[in-house]
């Protein structure tokens, strides 16, 4: 609903329009006098005119106001000029017309007052409607402000949630990157473990093959020695006992070696969680393997020394025994073969 302008606002609007239409000061003051007196029913004064127009000096609205009253009195005076009409009759007719004009003006002013009262009543009613509309608008604005505040709070909460979601997504991406790197590192460590295990298995297979070939050679030598040696059974029994003891030690070493391998396998199984200890354990296994090789080498050297001792003993006996009863040349006695190590 549009607001009804108050009298002061309507007067200010009319004066602003007149200022735009009449740039000259005296014409503007004359039009403002007519506006106040005829349209708004206000008796113009010099101070009121100057307050409304605010142009020129204070003498300008005074002079214009005097001219306005003079012109108004001249227009309100009725003159009847006729060449055949006597002067006293003309004056009486003029007074009669003036009286009629005055009564008509009074009646018009009364009608104008009634119209103004009616307009004022309508304006008051409109003002009440405007006030009610303003109250309703105030309530609507209050509700709108509350909803706006709630909307702003919701928007702030949404921004916070979006920010938290963005931070969570970034953190998740970082964690996924760390997880990918950890998985890649673990896969590389697992490949290294597999390679080390395969290398260790190849080395162990080579050692087993070498031990197997040595065992085969020892068996062949044992067969030949059993066919050739009868007189040396006593010393052979002793040597056999030594060989059994050596075999027992070899079996013990093999069991120790198997336990070491099982320990290494357990260590390899735990290497996913203890990759930092892998190198040390592999070094320990390599040291144990070297020690076993050294022991095998030592056993072989002891076997060679025993073979040399048996050869020397046989030679000495051959020197003491007559040539006619000397048995054929005996083959050197070899140590009993060690058991073949089980493949892991």
Q: Report how many helices (DSSP H) and strands (DSSP E) the chain contains, helices first.
A: 7, 0
pLDDT of residue 198: 85
Query: Sign (positive/negative) of CA torsion 153, 155, 158, 160?
Result: negative
CA distances 208 to 176, 214, 221, 289, 297, Å, are 47, 10, 19, 12, 14
Stretch (H or E) spanning 48? helix 46-53
| 300-308, long-range: CB < 8 A, 24+ apart | 300/214, 302/246, 302/335, 303/246, 303/334, 303/335, 306/239, 306/242, 306/333, 306/335, 307/332, 307/333, 307/334, 307/335, 308/332
If you average pLDDT over residues 305-309, what whole number do you get?
89
Identify the three-state secondary structure at position 334. Answer: coil
Between residues 176 and 341, the one the model is more confident about: 176
Residues 6+ apart with CB under 8 A from 300: 214
Query: By mean pLDDT, which of 24-38, 165-179, 240-254, 320-334 is the weakest?
Result: 320-334
Q: How far is CA 266 from the centre of its chain?
A: 44
In whole angstroms, what is the distance from residue 153 CA to residue 146 CA?
10
Whether residue 25 contacts residue 55, with contact meaning beta carbons closer than 8 Å, is answered with yes
If you average pLDDT over residues 232-254, what whole number do you get?
80
If you average pLDDT over residues 93-116, what whole number do you get?
62
Residue 106 has pLDDT above 80, yes or no: no
In whole angstroms, what is the distance from residue 83 CA to residue 69 CA?
30
Residue 331 has pLDDT above 50, yes or no: no
Between residues 344 and 117, the one the model is more confident about: 117
Between residues 291 and 112, the one the model is more confident about: 291
pLDDT of residue 298: 92
In whole angstroms, what is the distance from residue 166 CA to residue 164 CA?
5
In whole angstroms, what is the distance from residue 41 CA to residue 277 CA?
111
Pull the structure tokens for residue 131: 């006030």
Residues 6+ apart with CB under 8 A from 249: none
Q: Backbone phi, then psi, for 329, in 5-degree steps?
A: -60, 125
pLDDT of residue 31: 92
- The whole-chain average pLDDT of the chain stands at 78
pLDDT digits (tens, 9 = 90+) for 197-239: 888 788 888 888 887 887 888 888 778 778 877 777 777 677 7
Residue 332 has pLDDT above 70, yes or no: no
pLDDT of residue 165: 85
pLDDT digits (tens, 9 = 90+) for 128-178: 887 888 888 888 888 888 888 888 888 888 888 888 888 888 888 888 888
pLDDT digits (tens, 9 = 90+) for 46-71: 898 888 888 888 888 999 999 989 88
pLDDT digits (tens, 9 = 90+) for 11-42: 888 889 998 999 889 999 999 998 888 888 88
Q: Place 2 in a pLDDT band, splitting at 50, 70 and 90.
A: very low
């Amino acid at each position: 609903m549009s607001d009804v302008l108050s009298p002061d606002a309507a007067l200010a609007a009319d004066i602003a329009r007149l200022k735009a239409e009449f740039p000259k000061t005296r014409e503007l003051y004359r039009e403002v006098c007519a506006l106040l007196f005829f349209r708004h029913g206000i008796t113009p004064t010099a101070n009121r005119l100057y307050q409304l127009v605010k142009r020129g000096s204070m003498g300008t609205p005074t002079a214009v106001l005097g001219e306005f009253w003079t012109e108004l009195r001249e227009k309100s005076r009725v003159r009847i000029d006729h060449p055949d009409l006597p002067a006293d009759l003309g004056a009486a007719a003029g007074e009669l017309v003036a009286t009629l004009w005055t009564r008509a003006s009074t009646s018009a002013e009364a009608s104008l007052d009634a119209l103004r009262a009616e307009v004022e009543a309508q304006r008051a009613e409109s003002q009440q409607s405007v006030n009610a509309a303003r109250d309703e608008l105030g309530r609507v604005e209050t509700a709108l402000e509350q909803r706006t505040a709630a909307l702003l709070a919701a928007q702030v909460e949404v921004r916070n949630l979006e920010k938290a979601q963005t931070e969570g997504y970034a953190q998740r991406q970082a964690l996924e990157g760390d997880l990918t790197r950890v998985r890649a590192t673990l896969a590389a460590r697992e490949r290294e473990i597999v390679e080390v295990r395969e290398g260790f298995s190849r080395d162990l297979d080579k050692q087993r093959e070498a031990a197997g070939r040595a065992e085969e050679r020892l068996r062949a030598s044992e067969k030949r020695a059993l066919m050739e040696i009868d007189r040396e059974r006593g010393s052979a029994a002793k040597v056999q006992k030594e060989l059994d003891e050596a075999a027992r030690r070899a079996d013990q070493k093999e069991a120790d070696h198997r336990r070491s391998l099982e320990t290494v396998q357990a260590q390899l199984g735990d290497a996913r969680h203890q990759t930092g200890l892998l190198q040390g354990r592999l070094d320990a296994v390599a040291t144990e393997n070297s020690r076993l090789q050294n022991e095998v080498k030592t056993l072989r050297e002891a076997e060679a020394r025993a073979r040399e001792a048996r050869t020397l003993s046989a030679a000495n006996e051959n020197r003491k025994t007559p040539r006619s009863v000397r048995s054929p040349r005996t083959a050197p006695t070899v140590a009993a073969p060690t058991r073949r190590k089980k493949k892991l």
